[in-house]
Every structure is written in structure tokens, then in C-alpha cells.
Structure 1
Amino acid sequence: MSRTALRKTGEITISEEDFNKFREFFYRKTGISFESSKRYFVDKRLIDRVNATGSENFRSYFIMLRFQASGEELQFLTNAMTVNETYFMREEDQFKCLVDSILPEIMKRKAATRNRLIRIWSIPSSSGEEPYSIAMCLLERWADIHEWDIEIISSDIDTGILHKAKIGRYSERSIQKLPKAWLNKYFRRVGEGYQINDDLREAVEFTRVNLTEPADTRPYRNFDVIFCRNLLIYFDDVSRKTAAECFYDALTPGGFICLGHSESMSRISPLFKPRKFPEAVIYQRPLEAR
């Protein structure tokens, strides 16, 4: 396809040249890189936002997007572009590894100090299934939970999905892998879905974070465990390396990061060492300084 070829959805057209300019701009702002195979997906959401803002055409919309002082439209567009599909207890072996292998090692390392706080960061939060799954696993499977203070923070770039996570209302599909006893204990039926209880909702703090913005990530430090699963597949090599450096700084020495099954930190950055536990392969920030 030539640079002047057009894609058309309804009455709005986006040239190949304009699309490439947008793709570069969005990448710089979010770290998310769109492959050519995603063109239809991206075009559709762009055109939805052109129409929603009453812009005359894509170029006028793009000018507004780049120069709007508040950044409000960029946030609306980011919310539209991010994919949030997950469910409770996804990749459950890592939750088992957290309880059976990672936490005992962290407790042993902290035994000589008076620090009884364990901090866990879940990013991206999506609609909350992962951080709430972590909380339930700790409550139900970790015998030492009452001897420690636990802080779970969950972050996402999508403000809309963060709002859904805070509400904590889920479909049948989201809860399909939950143990029945947990469903009965932590949820109540609401219409055709399920509402998570207030105690569990209050156990997780949700925050908006853009991993590519140092001002956003700088406050996130001294975590013992990070869950960042199935996010880096949307980044290119440069953004993945930036994210790895962010996670290194966010972890305490000896801290752990869990990635998705299709992701490998060894191919991204030499900062972490792989640890093969009985339940899963997890990556660790070395105890010694780099």
C-alpha cells in the first residue's frame, strides 16, 4: 500500500502517512507499539474518537490530541486502545509460587529486621482480577498472613478500567476458575454478575501509572514482589528495556517479578536473574548492587 493510500470507516479517512505519524506519537506517549496487523483495530477506535469529539476529520483531531493542554483526550484514547481481558486465578501456578516459595524466602530475609511489611505491585491492574486474586490467595493459602502487614497496589494506564476495578463487579466468565468456597465467601450475586465484598476491595489500592513516564513511576519503590503479566508483549524492545529498568528500581534487592508465560525477562534485560521454583520460573533482582 502506498503512503497516500486511504483506509476508510464510515466517512472518516486516515492516510497511511497520518497513521504512521499517529503511531509514532502514541508510542512516545505510552510505550505501546501497534503492528500493521492491528491497523483495523486502531483505525476503528481512532474514528470513534474523531466522531465523539466532533472533529472535522482525522487531521484536525490529531492536532487537538497533540496540543490539548489538559491531556484529557489522550487519556480517553488510551482507555479505548488498551485491551483489558482477564479472569480470576489466571496462570494460577504463579500464585502458588508466591505463597509456597517466594514469600517464605522474603520472610527469611526479613527475619533479622523489625520490618514486618510486605509490598506487592500488580501492573496492569486491568479490571482487578489479578490483585484481588493475590489478596484471596494470601488470605486463604498463606498461614503466616496474620504475622505480617501486606500492602497490595495495583496500577494501570487506563482510568476507565481502574474505575471498574474499584467497583469490583464481574461476569460469570471472570469468576469461572474461582474455587466455589471463595466465590461464596468473597462475592455476592448482583443481577447477572458478582460483586466483590468491601473488605477485599479495601485491601487493594488502585492507581493510574504510565510505565514510560518517569514522573509516574518514581514514587513506586521498595516492593518485594511485582506481577507484570502479559503487558510487555505490547511494547517494543526499547520500551521493554525501559520497563525492566523501572521494575528494577521499584523492587527491593532480592525482590521478585512475575511475568506472563509467553514473556521472558532474560530476552529483555540482564538486570534480573531467573529463578526456577517448583511451581514456576520467576525473575529476581539480585541482592548485590548492579
Structure 2
Amino acid sequence: MWLQDQHAFELLRDFIWEKSGLYFESTKRQYFWRRVQNRMRLLDCFDGKEYYRILRSDTSETELRELLNVLTTTETYFFRNEPQLRAFQEEILPEMLRRKRAQGDCYLRFWSAGCSSGEEPYTLGMILREHLPQIEQWNITVVGTDINTRMVQKAQEGVYHVRSLRETPDRYRAKYFTVEGDQYRLHDVIKKMVTFRVGNLMHAEDASLMHNVDCIFCRNVLIYFNVESCQKVITMFYETMATQGYLLLGHSESLYRISAIFKLMKLKHSLVYYKE
């Protein structure tokens, strides 16, 4: 019999929030418990409070990482949110290149924060490969980070089910993927453009590895945070971003009532945030 009273839910929820910034409202209690029970069952534990004690006493945080893996498994796909990608390709990137050429700056730094299984940063790699004139003259860094260790491993492998390519234009599919049964393997020319690592947006030591970032993609991540966590993450983004850098959020996300440090810009195809 599962023992999962309200107090146990709050203990576990608040512990997860403290460690990761992820916050589960009471309305997501069933979702939360289904995934927590998957981990409890493997430990032959049927009491939510006892599982909480296990998490707190595990100084290696091995069990915490496994729990976060089951709590943060989300589906994504290549070329998600096409209007925003058009804004990046047709407006943000050309402006960035003009400015950097004028400054004699050959560095381009991009960060996909909360990259899941890698489709987003790989999409950026393909767009840069296709639309960056004389790409060999630029020193390009594309980094993808995620708190989910399994998703980061999958991203590094670069092998995807056809559903991950459902919005991928045919020419990209033909040029940058090899079909292997019902799987698609991304070509090394794009894989080598992206570096992946496990990263927690709430940990200052992880964020300190990023600096002077020109464009941050953090799409459909803030929806899992409460206001306090969002404010902390947005401040961190601002501090790691270069002047005149861009922040792109998910289509349903906004900094309204969270932070005013970024300027909201209306581009032809999308709304974006800008660091003046």
C-alpha cells in the first residue's frame, strides 16, 4: 500500500524545488506521484516520507538525479516553433553578424538551456551551417545543457525516431540525416558543432561556465518553475549574456511580472527579449 499523504507530497515537492528549481503545483500531484512511485518501487519503498529520508541522506545525490530524470522527461522535436526560428534566421542572426563584423569580433556563442534530447541546439547548428556566410571564418560555440542525465546522453548519441523530425524540412532531412531502420542518425558535421553537458540552471557553478553568450534559447522550461525560480534563472541569463544579446523563450512564456531587466522586442516573426 502506497503511503502518499499531503505532507509527504509537500516534503518531496519542496525538496525537488530546493535542488532543481522545478516546482509542482498541487494540481500536478498525480503526475508527480506516478513518477516518484516508479523510483520508490525500485527501492522497495512504499512510504513517501521514507523516500524523502532516502533522498536527504544520499550525499552522492545519485537517487536525486534518477528522480529528476523521470520528472523531466519531455518530448521535443527539430525545428520547433518555426516563426521564432525564422526570426532568428532572418532578423537576429543577420543583425548579429553585421555588428560583430563591424567590431572585428569573430566569436558567436549560443546556449540552449534545457535542451532535452538535443533537437533544439542541433537545429541551431543546421541553421548556422546553411545560413552563415563563410562559416569557417567564425569561431562558433553551441552549448546544450539539461538537468536530465539520460536526455543529455541521448543528445550526444544523435539518433532520433522519425517523430522528432516531423517538422524538419525535407532538404535538411536529406542533407543532414542518415536513415537507419525507423531511426535517423544525425551527421557528424552537425554533431561536432554542439557540446552537451548536464547542467542545473539553479546552480551558480554551472552557469559560471557560460559567459558573453550572444543568444540564449530557453524554450518551454520556465513553465516548470515558480516565480522565485524564474527570477533567479533570468538574472543568471542576464549576467552570462553579452551586451546586445537575445533571449528566446517558448511561445507561451513571458517575463511579465517576473523581471524587467530584458527589453521586449517585436520582430517580424516573433517576440524576443534583448539585453541593451
TM-score tier, shorter chain, comes to over 0.9
Which is worse superposed, 52-61 or 228-237? 52-61
* 1:94 partnered with 2:84: yes
Q: What are the superposed Cα offsets for residues 104-142 of structure 1, whole Å, 9 maximum, x if unpaired?
A: 222232234332010000011111111111111111233
Contact 2:108/2:214 (8 A) holds in 1: yes
Contact 2:11/2:49 (8 A) holds in 1: no
Counterpart among 259, 265, 270 of residue 275 in structure 1:
265
> Which ranges of 4 or more aligned residues in structure 1 deviate by more than 4 Å?
none
Unaligned runs of 5+ in 1: 1-10
Q: Report the Cα offset of residue 206 of structure 1.
A: 0.3
Q: What are the superposed Cα offsets for residues 15-61 of structure 1, whole Å, 9 maximum, x if unpaired?
A: 11111111111111111111122111111111111111233633222
Counterpart among 40, 49, 73 of residue 63 in structure 2:
73
Task: Tell me the distance in 1 between the aligned counterparts of 2:128 and 2:79.
Answer: 12
Write the letter of the residue equivalent to 2:123.
S
Contact 1:266/1:274 (8 A) holds in 2: no
Task: Tell me the distance in 1 between the aligned counterparts of 2:122 and 2:137.
Answer: 20
- Between the aligned residues of both structures, percent identity stands at 36
* 1:118 partnered with 2:108: yes
Contact 2:73/2:148 (8 A) holds in 1: no
Unaligned runs of 5+ in 2: none
Q: What is the SS of the residue equivalent to 2:143?
A: strand
Residue 142 of structure 2 corresponds to which residue in structure 1? 152
Write the letter of the residue equivalent to 1:108.
R
* 1:237 partnered with 2:214: no
Q: What is the SS of the residue equivalent to 1:173?
A: helix
Write the letter of the residue equivalent to 2:156.
K
Q: Report the Cα offset of residue 199 of structure 1.
A: 2.1
Decide whether aligned partners of structure 1 residues 226 and 216 sit closer, same or farther in structure 2, where only a CA change above 3 A counts: same
Number of aligned pairs? 276
Residue 165 of structure 1 corresponds to which residue in structure 2? 155
Q: Which has the larger radius of gyration?
A: 1
Q: What is the SS of the residue equivalent to 1:153?
A: strand
**How large is the Cα RMSD of the aligned pairs?**
1.4
Contact 2:13/2:24 (8 A) holds in 1: yes
- Equivalences for residues 1-290 of structure 1 within 5 A: 11-55=1-45, 57-286=47-276
- Normalized against structure 1, the TM-score is what? 0.91
Q: What are the superposed Cα offsets for residues 55-114 of structure 1, whole Å, 9 maximum, x if unpaired?
A: 363322211101211011000000110132111100012222122211222223223433
